[in-house]
């Protein structure tokens, strides 16, 4: 069985950026045999939230490469050049491409590494391979769509699986009811409920706001209740001084603080990333409710200061138990479908790596995103997108992705090999022809 220098679990933006970083380091004489495993059958980025007229909330300059290497082949600007759209994009006069276009950019970049990624396989187990009392390798086990088990060996591992849908406790008993679904599967699931007359959307963030407007704009729009605990929908703060928390060097500052200071920083700037839609989107929602007052046609409701405390499935729909936090009273409403725009949890790596837990302690990472382990555990195991509590709010975003992969790449190269003879030629074309 071939032993890879590195296996990456997941092939979304973080690991694509890492693949690019490692490819470009070959020009400096370093070579890492990296292979990636992705559970989706082909590349897709938030496929079920590709709504019409949605755009990025982050500048295109914070792409897969620019912040690390502005001359990279894999910048968004070069993607536009390759697609012969650069001049037209300039004429748009925007830093924020559509979500559809950025997804196409990511797919374009990922396609250069098709030979290094196994799509349609879900990793379900990572096992330690011992030599005497020392763990020298990792055995990564995955299952494909035909239920065939694949096993691969790696000297090092990087886990970039993204967030897992966060489901409020009262909805857990209904996890197999198709009428209740998370926003991560919105387009796929709402297509199964085209005849729905009454829909609830739970959440106060960008996804909840986008889904509300999508439902409102559909032909034969259902009645929609937008439900949240907050008093108001608050806009994201993207002002220049606040945005400095997403700068790469701010990661050093956050990591150097005490646990108490880091918690305070996360609390202070929480609304820059969570429960904070774009202002333009908030204004659109406000206008919807205002026009209802003008016409007297109350189709949708904004149930602010409400909390879902119970849910029961019945033949007529899902009966939601709501608590009005202002009035202190409870009441019940029945819906044909309920969309949970309730965010994500980012601790799946702990269960995935559970067989390695005797060597990992409390799964603490160092500054280079490497899990700290016992002396007899040789493989380096890195995390991407699961280190917000130690590295700051930018950890789950594209903001520092390019810089982070350079930091991980350097740490990885130190664990893998020393420089070899410098490569000649264009490494990007070599990848494309592979």
User: In terms of Cα–Cα distance, which of 217, 218, 220, 216 is closest to 201?
Assistant: 216
Same-domain pairing of 75 and 145: yes
User: In terms of Cα–Cα distance, which of 38, 49, 51, 47 is closest to 12?
Assistant: 38
Same-domain pairing of 351 and 383: yes
Same-domain pairing of 49 and 136: yes
Interior/surface letters 127-163, b for 16+ CB within 10 angstroms, e for the rest: ebeeeeeebbbbbbebbeeeeeeeebebbbbbbbbbe
Q: Is 31 buried (19+), middle (13-18) or exposed (0-12) by CB count in 10 A? A: middle
Q: What are phi and psi of 416, to 5 degrees?
A: -105, -60
How many of the other CB atoms lie within 10 Å of CB of 186?
25
User: In terms of Cα–Cα distance, which of 228, 229, 230, 225 is closest to 334?
Assistant: 225
How many Å is the maximal CA-CA distance in the chain? Answer: 77
Q: Is residue 250 domain-resident?
A: no
Same-domain pairing of 181 and 87: no
Same-domain pairing of 331 and 368: no
The pLDDT assigned to 59 comes to 96
Mapped onto helix, strand or coil, the DSSP state of residue 330 is strand
What's the per-residue H, E or C state across 345-372? ECCHHHHHCHHHHHHHCCCCECCCCEEC
Cα(135)–Cα(199) distance, rounded to whole angstroms?
52
Same-domain pairing of 175 and 324: yes
pTM higher than 0.85 for the full model? Answer: yes
Tens digit of pLDDT at every position of the chain (434 positions): 899 999 999 999 999 999 999 999 998 888 999 999 999 999 999 999 999 989 999 999 999 999 999 999 999 999 999 999 999 999 999 999 999 999 999 999 999 999 999 999 999 999 999 999 999 999 999 999 999 999 999 999 999 999 999 999 999 999 999 999 999 999 999 999 999 999 999 999 999 999 999 999 999 899 999 999 999 999 988 899 999 999 999 999 999 999 999 999 999 999 898 999 999 999 999 999 999 999 999 999 999 999 999 999 999 999 999 999 999 999 999 999 999 999 999 999 999 999 999 999 999 999 999 999 999 999 999 999 999 999 999 999 999 999 999 999 999 988 775 443 343 344 333 333 23
Q: Is residue 261 domain-resident?
A: no
CATH of the domain at 322: 3.50.50.60
Domain boundary among 308, 340, 372: 340
Same-domain pairing of 211 and 157: no
Contact (Cβ atoms closer than 8 angstroms) between residue 352 and residue 142: no
User: How would you list the strands of the sheet with 134-144, edge to edge?
Assistant: 3-4, 149-154, 134-144, 121-131
Mapped onto helix, strand or coil, the DSSP state of residue 328 is coil
Same-domain pairing of 363 and 402: yes
Domain boundary among 314, 340, 366: 340
Q: Is residue 247 domain-resident?
A: no
Same-domain pairing of 359 and 335: no
How many distinct structural domains can be found in the chain? 2
Pinpoint the alpha helices (H) of 112-205.
186-190
State the DSSP string of 381-423: EEESS--HHHH-GGGGSSTTHHHHHHHHHHHHHHHH----SPP
Cα(407)–Cα(367) distance, rounded to whole angstroms?
9
State the DSSP string of 59-110: -TTSSSSTTT-TT-TTSHHHHHHHTT-HHHHHHH--S--BHHHHHHHHHHHH
Same-domain pairing of 279 and 322: yes
Domain boundary among 340, 369, 389: 340
How many of the other CB atoms lie within 10 Å of CB of 257?
14
The pLDDT assigned to 417 comes to 57
Same-domain pairing of 174 and 320: yes
The residue segments making up the domain with residue 61 are 3-163+346-432
Residues 6+ apart with CB under 8 A from 242: 269, 272
The pLDDT assigned to 77 comes to 98
Mapped onto helix, strand or coil, the DSSP state of residue 203 is coil
Contact (Cβ atoms closer than 8 angstroms) between residue 355 and residue 126: yes
Angle at 389 between CA 385 and CA 392, to 5 degrees: 70
Q: What is the pLDDT of residues 125-154, one digit of tens each?
A: 999 999 999 999 999 999 999 999 999 999
User: In terms of Cα–Cα distance, which of 340, 368, 370, 344 is closest to 174?
Assistant: 340
Mapped onto helix, strand or coil, the DSSP state of residue 29 is coil
The pLDDT assigned to 434 comes to 30
Cα(65)–Cα(74) distance, rounded to whole angstroms?
6
Same-domain pairing of 221 and 96: no
């Amino acid at each position: 069985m071939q032993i890879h220098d590195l296996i990456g679990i997941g092939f979304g933006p973080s690991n694509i950026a890492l693949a690019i970083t490692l490819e470009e380091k070959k020009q400096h004489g370093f070579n890492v045999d990296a292979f990636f495993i992705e559970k989706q059958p082909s590349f897709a980025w938030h496929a079920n939230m590709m709504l019409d007229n949605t755009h990025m909330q982050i500048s295109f300059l914070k792409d897969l490469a620019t912040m690390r290497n502005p001359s990279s082949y894999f910048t968004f600007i070069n993607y536009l050049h390759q697609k012969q759209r650069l001049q037209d994009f300039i004429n748009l006069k925007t830093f924020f491409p559509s979500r559809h276009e950025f997804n196409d950019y990511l797919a374009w970049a990922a396609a250069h590494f098709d030979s290094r990624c196994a799509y349609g396989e879900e990793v379900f187990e990572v096992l330690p391979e011992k030599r005497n009392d020392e763990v020298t390798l990792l055995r990564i086990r995955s299952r494909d769509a035909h239920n065939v088990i694949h096993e691969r060996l790696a000297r090092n591992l990087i886990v970039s699986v993204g967030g897992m849908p966060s489901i409020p406790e009262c909805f857990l008993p209904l996890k197999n009811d198709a009428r209740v679904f998370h926003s991560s599967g919105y387009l796929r699931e709402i297509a199964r409920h085209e005849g729905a007359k009454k829909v609830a959307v739970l959440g106060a963030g960008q996804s909840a706001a986008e889904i509300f407007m999508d439902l409102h704009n559909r032909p034969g729009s259902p009645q929609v209740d937008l439900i949240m605990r907050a008093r108001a929908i608050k806009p994201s703060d993207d002002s220049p001084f606040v945005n400095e928390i997403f700068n790469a060097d701010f990661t050093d500052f956050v990591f150097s603080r005490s646990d108490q200071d880091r918690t305070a920083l996360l609390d202070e700037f929480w609304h820059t990333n969570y429960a904070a839609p774009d202002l333009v989107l908030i204004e659109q929602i406000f206008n919807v409710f205002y026009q209802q007052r003008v016409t007297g046609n109350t189709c949708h409701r904004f149930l602010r200061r409400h909390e879902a405390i119970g849910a029961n499935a019945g033949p007529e729909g899902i009966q939601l138990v709501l608590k009005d936090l202002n009035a202190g009273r409870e009441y019940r409403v029945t819906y044909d479908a309920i969309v949970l725009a309730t965010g994500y949890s980012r601790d799946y790596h702990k269960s995935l790596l559970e067989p390695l837990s005797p060597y990992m302690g409390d799964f603490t990472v160092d500054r280079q995103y490497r899990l700290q382990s016992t002396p007899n555990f040789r493989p380096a195991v890195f995390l991407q997108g699961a280190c917000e509590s130690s590295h700051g709010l930018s950890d789950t975003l594209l903001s520092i992705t390019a810089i982070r992969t350079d930091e991980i790449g350097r740490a990885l190269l130190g664990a893998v090999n020393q420089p070899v003879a410098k490569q000649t030629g264009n490494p990007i074309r070599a990848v494309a022809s592979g």
